[in-house]
Copies of this chain bind each other. A is one copy, B any other.
Amino acid sequence: MKQLDSIAIIGVGLIGASVGLAVRRCGLAHRVIGIGREGSRSLAEALRMGAISEGTSDIAAGVATADLTIVCTPVDTIAGYVQTALDAIPDRGLVTDAGSTKASILAKVATHPASARFIGSHPMAGSHLTGPENGHATLFDQRPVIVTPDNENSEAALEQIEAFWQALGAQTLRLTPSEHDQAVAMISHLPHVVAAALAANTPAEHLPLASSGWADTTRIAAGDVQLWLQILNDNRDHVLKSLDKFGKVLTQFRDALATEDNDRLGELLQAGKHTRDRMEEQS
């Protein structure tokens, strides 16, 4: 991807700061403009870390010269910021995001006259930690980024957004917004609910006995509650379907154990191991 004049990042938390660090590491843009609330601690920290080259709380001014604007805010606020950015970007500009859901965001933006210049993205990278101080330049290295074209996006615009994420080290793939939401319900949102339920179900007096197994299985339960409330609500129907499928598989494990059906229990454990091993081979 050829070097851009400037990139604007709306929201410089963990994801926004990581985008900034990655952009600056590979010299993708002369200017990296961070946009945050007036007096925001994150903006000051992102500037201090070198994740952005300048900061502002004025969205319109911040995106006015940006070849590319990336909205890295919590899911509920993305559509609003995208529309504010679309109102103010230059003619050559594009807008993308890093939200964990796609269909509802794209639907909200669809009414904007410049909606074709917004291309939805979702980098499958993150952390249970938050804030720019936990961001890093390699967060997207070798990670999948899902780009979700809708009917209005031009092929040229899609390719520019894909080239951007690839320049940060990511591997892009395309899904429709609905395919995206269904897939991430299963691979990301369901594991979050399961990890949270497992942690919530653990009596405090047993915690001193926790090994790395419990720690790994519950790690994402430490994620930000408000961010996850937004994500789960925004993708409610798909998450509920994934939960129901998971509940059926869990019942199969339970029944095999309760009826001492060792062949069946072994098959189920093997199915889990097979899928987990396969993921390891792919990564």
Docked-complex contact B216 and A220, CB < 8 angstroms: yes
Is there an interface contact between B124 and A209, defined as CB atoms closer than 8 Å? Answer: yes
Identify which of residues 227-244 in chain A touch chain B, using a CB-to-CB cut-off of 8 Å: 228-229, 232-233, 236, 239-240, 243-244
When distances are taken between beta carbons in the complex, the residues of chain B under 8 Å from A225 are: 266, 269-270, 273
Nearest Cβ distance between residue A120 and chain B, in whole angstroms?
15
Q: Which residues from chain B contact A197 at a C-beta distance below 8 Å?
A: 246, 249-250, 252-253, 268, 272
Please determine whether A125 and B206 come into contact, CB atoms closer than 8 angstroms. no
Is B126 within 8 A of A222, CB to CB?
no
Per DSSP, chain A at the interface is: helix
B222 touches A277 (CB 8 A): yes
Q: Is A250 within 8 A of B247, CB to CB?
A: yes
Write out, one digit per residue, whether chain A residues 153-180 have a CB within 8 A of any chain B CB (1) or not (0): 0000000000000000000010000000
- Would you call A107 an interface residue if the criterion is a C-beta within 8 Å of the partner chain's C-beta atoms? no
Cβ-based interface call for A208 (8 A): yes
Whether A26 sits at the interface, judged by CB under 8 Å, is no
Find A260's partner among B193, B196, B209, B233 (CB 8 Å cutoff). Answer: B233
Interface status of A28 (Cβ within 8 A of chain B)? no
State whether A196 touches B277 (Cβ < 8 A).
Answer: no
User: How many copies of this chain does the complex contain?
Assistant: 2
In the complex where A199-B276, A260-B233 touch, is A228 in contact with B126 (Cβ < 8 A)? Answer: no
In the complex, the 8 A-B pairs of residues with the closest C-beta atoms, listed nearest first:
A196-B272, A199-B272, A200-B272, A221-B272, A200-B271, A124-B211, A191-B217, A221-B276
Sample of 13 further A-B pairs with CB below 8 A, known A197-B253, A223-B273: A126-B213, A127-B212, A143-B211, A187-B207, A191-B214, A199-B275, A200-B268, A201-B246, A225-B266, A225-B273, A232-B265, A233-B265, A243-B253
26 sample A-B contacts, Cβ–Cβ < 8 Å, listed by A number:
A126-B212, A144-B208, A184-B209, A187-B202, A187-B211, A190-B201, A191-B213, A196-B271, A196-B272, A196-B273, A198-B272, A200-B272, A200-B275, A204-B278, A207-B275, A207-B279, A213-B220, A216-B217, A216-B219, A217-B218, A218-B279, A221-B272, A225-B270, A233-B265, A243-B257, A247-B250
